[in-house]
Structure 1
Amino acid sequence: MSKAVLPDKPRAAPIFKAPATPAPLNPIPSSSPAFATPAHPIRPFNPAAIPQKASILPILLPPATLRPLAFRTFTKKHSLTLTSSALQVLATFIGRHCGTEWREEGLAEKVLEEVAKSWKNRNGGVIVQGEDSGLKDILKNLEGSMSGGRIVASRELSRQNSLVLGSSQNGEVSHTRLGFRPGGLSGLGREDSQLSLGLSSLDVEEDEDDEGLKDSRKWLKVIDAFEQPRLVYNAGKKHFDRDTSKPSLLPQPAHKTQVFRNRYNLIHQRLLRNESFQTPTFETLKASLKRSSSTLATTQQSYKLTPIANLLGRNGSSHMLLGLLTIAPTGTLAINDLTGSIALDLTHAKAIPEDGAWFAPGMIVLVDGTYEEENSNMGSGLGGSGGIGGTIGGKFIGFFVGGPPCERRQLTLGLGGKNGEGDVTAGGGFGWVDFLGVGSERAVGSKMRKIEQRLIRNPHGEETEGGRGRMVVIGEVNLDQPRTLQALKKLLGLYAAEPEEDTPMTFILMGNFVKHAVMARGGSGGSIEYKEYFDALALTLSEYPTLLQSATFIFVPGDNDGWASSFSAGAATALPRKGVPEMFTSRIKRAFATANAEADKGKGKKSDGEAIWTSNPSRLSLFGPTHEIVLFRDSMTGRLRRTAIKFASSKPETEENGEGDIEMPEPTLEPEQSMDIDSEVREAESQVPEPETAAAEAVSSDLHVARKLVKTVLDQGYLSPFGMSVRPVLWDYTSALQVYPLPTAMVLADTEAPAFCVTYEGCHVMNPGSVVAPGRRGVARWVEYDVRGKVGKVREVMF
């Protein structure tokens, strides 16, 4: 039996090597010294004791024949993904070493099982590449441990892999053997379920001596919009592809069309996954067999989308369209999809839900209505237009307009269990896609939840206030307003008074950091004045060294911040936009360095509080893909009110006198209904509203605006659902504006909307408003987000 070939190691000097001995033809060793006869006595020769190598007839095994067995072993059992090149390598190896008995004797299954275990032990990742040197090393080791197509040294092979995992430096065990590295989660490995290898005892939860694993802030990562992976949905393959082209701020004109195409394909596949757009085959079959009218009435109704090009020649028929609302060159409203464009008539349309969302040009909407051809071209149906690929003649009369329904995060990722906290299921979903570059849900999700359970969540399930699992979100920090710094001092003083171990892990400060675009005002100081405002903020932060030593401060710019405001003068800038340049923030970073140096001297341990200046928008990743928080600063409510479509059916009936488009109720009502109307009229005859009633109505109105805003953004799955002339975007970076899958939480800092905390389809959306509450003297306002409960609350304090 030949020896197992170990991985490459440092070679010894030639003098220490044993002389190479060729394998003798006769198994009985020679007694001649010329043939290196051993000095020890020769034991009696027993031919039966020598293992006879079984004869193998090598074959050419096609990869397609091996694919079902490899899929069952790698994907179903070990949650690994085989590439075509890796499958080819494995098929060649098994055909050569297992021969004709690879299927009947189960030899191939044992080889695939050993390769999968070794790959996971080596931290190979989710995808097994055939060009990877790790797979070649595994097969090389395995080749030396096989005899007659069978693995005879699996224990020794597993022990070699364990030694590779346990490699250390300076006598300390490296935590990378587990696939964990705080702050850099891209190298995370997969969970090993093989207890026979002893990896269950090598859990990160038991490494109590590592300070980096005790602080939950070590698992927090800020992802800049310009560093986020650029993913494009491939409609043909039905999965996401990574855009490998080099992005540019001045791309080709074709990239502008690609922006709409990507948005449409993403929403279209999301709709097709919705139950309302799936044909209930089983129910329809059961209904046709029973021939029962009651069964037909209860059968689930399914909707079907019609491409705009398919409307040609179908005058008077009803359809449902999915397309982009635009303003045609003639000034009329139109709807576009990938096949064509058609004029849209919404005179009699009704929003679904009524007054529940905004619909503006630039949004992708669902329209249910009837197609009507032009009178002059009733026969052809072309209407004198370009037909497919161009503008379709006639118009589409819409009766109902609604946004594409949203999809929960656990459905997108294919998660099971309660609240989507289980493992990835075998059904659909994109759990294997790494959307943020921190590891996919399928690769590291279960591991990250275990770490989160130990570091943040209370193991006893008790609801407690405070703790490290908090994020403080402060909006509209106008440093050129003196009252802003006063509010910040009061706010930071509250958290500085808490014990250091209960300090919030993150403070998020949202722009605009100046009320006016001072960098665009020629005679008012410009960039020098802008830097002085941040110097004043540095002095304020220096008064709370404990916060600077134990928390991460994240700064998100607005439209009035540099450098973008120097040429936009405070108007809407292109998204995404980069953070504030370092030349303005050097004094703040110096304050953090001073606070950390004092902590190192006084406590003898290293502190690493830091300030991060990120882009707008940006994302926070906490414990890998477990928590994704979107940070976005934009005054979106006012822009929606200015550009949204106003439906005639949304007018209240009290404004009509019976002569308008809305018909008044007929007097033939039931007694109970007439009583309800009388009671409502009687309640409306109050003369002066009570203060409590007025306050309740104000709260109800604010909540309605918040829900309307949240539903509009999340249903669109896009942070800038406007035309590019209203809110420009950088064409090559629009993947950072996609809100798919839904994040765990989202900070939508909008000063034109009331401060709120609303949960919609499992996504918790927060708006901190302005740190100085408008219309209220001496009130500071912010939002405190609890990571454990995934819920935030608006807090206020007098200053």
Structure 2
Amino acid sequence: MSARLKGRIISSFKLYGLSLRSGAVKYLTDVLQPVSEVEVEKWLDTIVNGVQKLPLTSSFIDRDCIELAVQNSSGGTDKESDKVFEVIDAFRVPRLSYNIDRKKFVLNEAIESVLCLHASADAKAELFKERFTVLHQRTLRHELFTPPAAGASVGQQSKKFQLRPVEYLLGTTSRLGRVIVLGMLIQLKEGKYFLEDPTGSVELDLSQATFHTGIFTEYCFVLAEGMYDDGIFHVSALGFPPAEASKATRSYFGNMNFFGGSSATSAKSSSYLAKVEAENPDAMFVFLSDVWLDQPKVMDKLRVLFSGYADMLPTAFVFCGHFCSAPYGPEHARTVKKCFRELADLVCEFESLAENCRFVFVPGPLDPGPGNILPRPPIPDILTEDIRGRLPLAVFASNPCRIQFCTQEIVVFREDITNKMCRNCVRFPSDKETIPTHLVKTVNAQAHLCPLPLHVRPLYWSYDNALRVYPLPDLIVFADKYDPFQVENADCISINPGSFPKTKFQFKVYWPQRRLVEDSQIPD
């Protein structure tokens, strides 16, 4: 029985291109020895499926991977690792790369070991290659681009499209009609736009192009449809790769933890966290942006806010910068430190908030810290030691940052992204839809918070993955000085609380259990 079972185990994994090390085979043989022969096949399929969902870096599977897969397959969870609330730093987001051969995401340990802020030029090239690969695999899985099923009718086949690489256009001398290409929109020569992918670049003629919903900027990835003739791609329609809801993404990649945090698997797959979330229907998050702590009027409104919530405690207050209304030159850092000290004094007037409520602070572009490059680290500890000493649950986060509450995934991004996108677009959106709708659909389609040229919004090349939103989270908070908005697209809610002082003290409240957003305001 033991030898036969060992052979079944090895052959089951070989079917999926996986090889077990001797320790893994011995462990799995011991685990399955008591199981009846009828149940062995079922358990092997479940365990193999569990192994494939892990962030594997090799086809050789060791004992640790098998133990984790068995634990997940048997429904065992470590509740201590399933944190109910966690703020995830942008510099700790998992670096996952899509493996084209294995058709799954794997942890890129080779890059992880040599990360630095000032990376080589290779990191810049890798940045755009990774963005393209993520969007390309997602687009190929969309129903419009999957090959028609065998025996499909002519009408069904006509509704399908085929993606072509740029080299397909460059390699022909004849005229091509109705071609669809996925690539990056870029201006390689002044006044002339090109479409670029890993296989090459082709000049575009956009004079007759119809632009679909979205804000099209340089360096964003587009689906271009048109005719190729005489070395120029004459575009008839320009759109974005179709966005994909989180459930659809996870149906392909299982419970892999894309979001980050202490858990080995996605919080979405935790029955323990789902139960905690269901038992807390009153959990809520309060989002404010441009919290100018140097303005007496703002501090007065915060006192009203805290007094209103003292008897109905939010899960967290999320305050986004800037935390001063204007730069103070050489005294700016000292002013910020004084403002946080005064905020601590104010919160401590409400003992229930000070002891039980979380306060998350996300820096703005003008707050103290290293250069204004994304992702931005938290405000330096030397300026926040007073408030952290008095508010034990205060967290100073990076920008952007991620918040995991039970099974909910929230991304907070403090950036005036709307105006920057509009100022740098190839063609300003039509009036058919509002600007926030165009913005949200662009971000979701690009699977990236800031699809702008790098000279417009600099990024640390090695940490571009920190701004990736794939799979889409439950909530994206664009803390923008633009007017407040709420847009839902692809099962992802995007909100902007607006500038707290400039919107007559408006803010947003999010109820995770109901996935409900409320508009709120502190009246005069």
Normalised by the size of structure 1, how large is the TM-score?
0.58
- 1-structure distance, mates of 2:476, 2:357: 20
Q: Which structure has the bigger radius of gyration?
A: 1
Q: Whole-Å Cα distance in 2 between the matches of residues 358 and 113 of structure 1?
A: 49
Mapping 1:374-773, distance limit 5 Å: 394-414=231-251, 428-437=252-261, 438-441=263-266, 444-453=269-278, 455-457=279-281, 467=282, 469-496=283-310, 498=311, 502-518=312-328, 521-522=329-330, 525-564=331-370, 568=371, 573-592=372-391, 610-623=393-406, 626-646=407-427, 704-751=434-481, 753-773=482-502
Relative to structure 1, the CA distance from residue 486 to residue 725 in structure 2 (aligned partners, 3 Å threshold; closer, same or farther) is: same
The letter for the 1-side match of 2:398 is S
Q: Would you say 1:223 and 2:33 are equivalent positions?
A: no
Instruction: Look up the match of 2:78.
Output: 179
In the TM superposition, residue 316 of structure 1 has moved relative to its aligned partner by: 2.7
| Residue 176 (structure 2) aligns with | 317
**One-letter amino acid matched to 1:474:** L
Which residue is 1:251 aligned to?
A: 119
CA 1:326–1:430 in 2, change beyond 3 Å: closer, same or farther?
Answer: farther
CA RMSD of aligned residues (A): 3.6
Q: Does 1:791 align with 2:495?
A: no
State the 1:515 CA deviation: 2.9
Worse overlay, 230-239 or 533-542: 533-542
Q: Is the 8 A contact 2:144 2:160 kept in 1?
A: yes
Counterpart code for 1:551: C
Structure 1 unaligned spans of 5+: 1-55, 73-80, 139-160, 162-176, 186-217, 288-295, 374-393, 415-427, 458-466, 594-609, 653-700
TM-score by length of 2: 0.86
Q: Could you tell me how far apart the structure 1 residues matched to 2:288 and 2:303 are?
A: 12
**Mapped partners of 1:797, 1:506: distance in 2:** 18
Matched, 1:264 2:93: no
What SS class does the counterpart of residue 516 from structure 1 fall into? coil
Q: 1:360 aligns with which of 207, 217, 221?
A: 217
C-alpha separation in 1, matches of 2:360 and 2:29: 53
Query: In 2, Cα distance between the equivalents of 1:281 and 1:270?
Result: 19
Deviation by residue 1:322-378 (Cα, 9 ceiling, x = unmatched)? 1111121444211110100111121111111xxx311000111111111121xxxxx
CA contact (8 A) 2:358 2:394 kept: yes
| 1:275 matched to 2:143 | yes
C-alpha distance in 2, partners of 1:93/1:757? 50
**Residue 130 (1) aligns with residue 45 (2):** no
Q: How does 1:131-210 map to 2 (within 5 A)?
A: 131-132=63-64, 179-181=78-80, 184-185=81-82
Deviations along 1:90-113, one digit per CA (max 9) or x if unpaired, are 279969x99xxx9xx976966996
The runs of 5 or more residues in structure 2 that have no matched partner are none
Identity of counterpart residues, as a percentage? 28
Displacement of 1:578 in angstroms is 0.2
Q: Which structure shows the higher strand fraction?
A: 2
Question: 8 Å contact 1:745–1:763 — kept in the other structure?
Answer: yes
Change (3 A) 1:401 1:448: same
Distance in 2 (CA, whole Å) between partners of 1:470 and 1:713 is 25
Residue 433 of structure 1 contacts residue 440 of structure 1 at CA under 8 Å; is this kept in 2? yes
- Per-residue deviation, 1:705: 2.2
**Amino acid corresponding to residue 333 of structure 1 in structure 2:** Y
CA separation in 2, counterparts of 1:68 and 1:764? 45
How far apart in 2 are the matches of 1:298 and 1:131?
Answer: 47
Answer yes or no: is the 8 Å Cα contact 2:84–2:273 preserved in 1. Answer: no
Secondary structure of the structure 2 residue equivalent to 1:342? strand
| Residues 632, 111 of structure 1: alpha-carbon distance in 2 compared, 3 angstrom cutoff | closer
Give the 3 Å change call, closer, same or farther, for CA 277–249 of structure 1 in structure 2.
same
Letter in 2 for 1:320: I
Aligned residues of 1:126 and 1:443 also touching (Cα < 8 A)? no
Shift of 1:795: 0.6
Deviation at 1:320, TM superposition (A): 0.9
Aligned partners of 1:347, 1:434: CA distance in 2, in Å?
Answer: 40
Q: Is the 8 A contact 1:510 1:558 kept in 2?
A: yes
Identify which range, 471-480 or 629-638, moves more after superposition.
471-480
Aligned to 1:328, the other structure's residue is in SS state strand
Counterpart residue number, 1:668:
none
Is the Cα–Cα contact under 8 Å of residues 592 and 611 in structure 1 kept in the other structure? yes
Distance 1:517 1:240, change over 3 A: farther
Q: CA deviation at 1:223?
A: 0.6
Which residue matches 1:681? Answer: none
Q: Which residue of 2 is the match for residue 240 of structure 1?
A: 105
Q: Indicate conservation of the 8 Å contact 1:472/1:508, yes or no.
A: yes
Instruction: Quote how far apart the aligned CAs of 1:723 are.
Output: 1.1
Q: How many residues align?
A: 505
1:454-483 Cα deviation digits (max 9, x unpaired): x214xxxxxxxxx3x111011111223332
1:300-311 aligned at under 5 Å gives the runs 301-311=159-169
Q: Match for 1:731: what amino acid? A: W
The separation in 2 between residues aligned to 1:728 and 1:413, in whole angstroms, is 31
Shift, 1:68, TM fit: 5.3
Structure 2 CA distance for partners of 1:517 and 1:367, relative to 1, 3 Å: farther
- Tell me if structure 2 keeps the 8 A contact 1:785–1:792: yes
Find the counterpart in structure 2 of residue 84 from structure 1. 19
What does the per-residue CA deviation read over 1:714-751, in whole Å, with 9 as the maximum and x for residues that have no partner?
Answer: 11110110111111111111111110001011111111
Q: Distance in 1 between matches of 2:232 and 2:337?
A: 55
For residues 374 and 146 of structure 2, what CA distance do their matches in structure 1 show?
Answer: 35
The SS at the match of 1:587 is: helix
Contact 1:487 1:771 in 2 (8 A): no
* Residue identity in the other structure for 1:436: G
What one-letter code is carried by the residue in structure 2 that aligns with 1:556? V
Distance across 1 between alignment mates of 2:28 and 2:270: 33
